[in-house]
Amino acid sequence: MDKVIKQVVGIDVSCKKFDVCFQEQTQTGSLSIKGTRSFSNDLKGFKDYLIWFSKRKKEVYLVHIMEATGVYHENLCYFLFEQQEKVSVQLAQKIKYFGKSLHQKTKTDKADAKLIALFGFSFSVALWEPISEHFQAIKDLCRMLSQLKKSKSATQSQLHAFESKHGVLEEVLTIMNKLLVQQEDSINECEKEIKLWVSKDKDLEEKINRITAIKGIQMLTVVKLLAETDGFRKCSSIRKLVSYAGLDVVENQSGTKSGRTRISKKGNSHIREALYMPALCACRFDQRMKTFYKRLNEKQNTKKQGVIAVMRKLLIVIYTLWKNEQQYNPEYQWK
């Protein structure tokens, strides 16, 4: 009898339900589906799923794989982790391009669950671990702060449009100004709360203070990077960190033809957002970065490519200081 050596459950998660496809692989490499089903995305559905897959589970390697779908997958991840099950969370882009490589045409929840399971047999997947409670709280606050700032910017643009409009009601401007004040108060309150959480961990606070010695890098920038990477625990090397941030370079070259080189953007957009303004600041006020930026722009068509290179450089320096617990020394780190 052909022995089973690996089992994978592909899980496609949505807001109210999740679809699963249970597959297993034998020694000869053959794959077979042992069950498909839908469950409600709540505690009852999680318990039903636990009973369902336990009936099919064997004494072999079993991993549950799902896409990162905003926040809808998180409760299921924590539930399975608490049951001491192996869980892997993959970027949606990875699954999407894997489906394209297989010429997948059908797009349903059931088909997606099957595709995710196949992905687990085709690649070695990293296992998911929950973020520490401290960084989770800071991460939520940082993301809220980002949303508040975007809302404030949108309100300012709307207010400017109303002020330029002919015959606008004074009451409209009063309401818009009140909304702007409320948003500013919320931003200040959120920033205060972030600083409070950082101050609870003196070691964390000390490390952040060392990193902020870099010109253009403020405390909130470092905190956002740490929160999104769980204190860089998600990235064991510079290469993996750059890829996780979506700042890795994608080349487009075939034969004698060369296309436009760009960054992948297949990573954490919050990290790129946190680094953009500090990079612009470094390009203007840090002499080393200014020289580096100008040298790059001599060879590039757009200045944006130089800014992205500075973002990547700053990320690497911050990572190095954090991992090695070093004091910032511009003569050493930039080399």
- Residue 302 has what pLDDT? 67
Q: How many domains does the chain have?
A: 3
Structure tokens that stand for 180 in this block? 């702007």
Question: Taking the C-alpha atoms of 267, 143, 63 and 56 in order, what is their torsion angle to the nearest 10 degrees?
Answer: -140
Return the sign of the alpha-carbon dihedral for residues 267, 271, 277, 281: negative
Residue 127 counted as domain residue: no
Question: What kind and span of H or E run contains 110?
Answer: helix 109-122
Examine the domain organization and report whether 148 and 97 are in the same domain: no
Residue 155 counted as domain residue: yes
Task: Say how far apart CA 117 and CA 318 lie, in whole Å.
Answer: 36
- Residue 118 has what pLDDT? 95
State the distance between the two ends of the chain, measured CA to CA, in whole angstroms: 59
Residue 210 counted as domain residue: yes
- Residue 330 has what pLDDT? 72
- Residue 265 has what pLDDT? 66
- Residue 227 has what pLDDT? 92
| Residue where a domain terminates, one of 94, 122, 150 | 122
Residue 68 counted as domain residue: yes
Question: What kind and span of H or E run contains 274?
Answer: helix 269-285
Examine the domain organization and report whether 191 and 248 are in the same domain: no
Examine the domain organization and report whether 221 and 196 are in the same domain: no
Examine the domain organization and report whether 213 and 333 are in the same domain: yes
Pairing of strands 257-258, 253-254: antiparallel
Examine the domain organization and report whether 224 and 333 are in the same domain: yes
| Residue where a domain terminates, one of 172, 200, 228 | 200
Examine the domain organization and report whether 283 and 229 are in the same domain: yes
Task: Say how far apart CA 8 and CA 22 lie, in whole Å.
Answer: 6
Task: Say how far apart CA 17 and CA 19 lie, in whole Å.
Answer: 7
- Residue 74 has what pLDDT? 92
Examine the domain organization and report whether 11 and 82 are in the same domain: yes
Task: Say how far apart CA 134 and CA 197 lie, in whole Å.
Answer: 8
Q: What DSSP assignment string belongs to 142-176?
A: HHHHHHHHHHHHHHHHHHHHHHHSTT--HHHHHHH
Domain extent for 168: 132-200
Return the sign of the alpha-carbon dihedral for residues 266, 270, 271, 277: positive
Residue 307 counted as domain residue: yes
Examine the domain organization and report whether 213 and 196 are in the same domain: no
Task: Say how far apart CA 323 and CA 210 lie, in whole Å.
Answer: 12
Examine the domain organization and report whether 26 and 101 are in the same domain: yes
Quick one: DSSP state of residue 335? -
CATH number, position 19? 3.30.420.40
Distance of CA 206 to the CA centre of its chain: 25
Examine the domain organization and report whether 225 and 330 are in the same domain: yes
Cross-strand partners of 249? 263
Examine the domain organization and report whether 140 and 118 are in the same domain: no
Other C-beta atoms lying within 10 Å of the C-beta of residue 147: 12
282 contacts: CB under 8 Å, gap ≥ 6: 214, 215, 216, 289, 290, 293, 310, 314
| Residue where a domain terminates, one of 72, 101, 122 | 122
Pick out the chain residues at pLDDT < 50.
Answer: 254, 259
Q: Look up tokens 């060369």; give the residue.
A: 258
- Residue 165 has what pLDDT? 87
pLDDT tens-place string over residues 136-147: 999 999 999 999
Structure tokens that stand for 311 in this block? 């973002």
Examine the domain organization and report whether 313 and 242 are in the same domain: yes
- Residue 275 has what pLDDT? 93
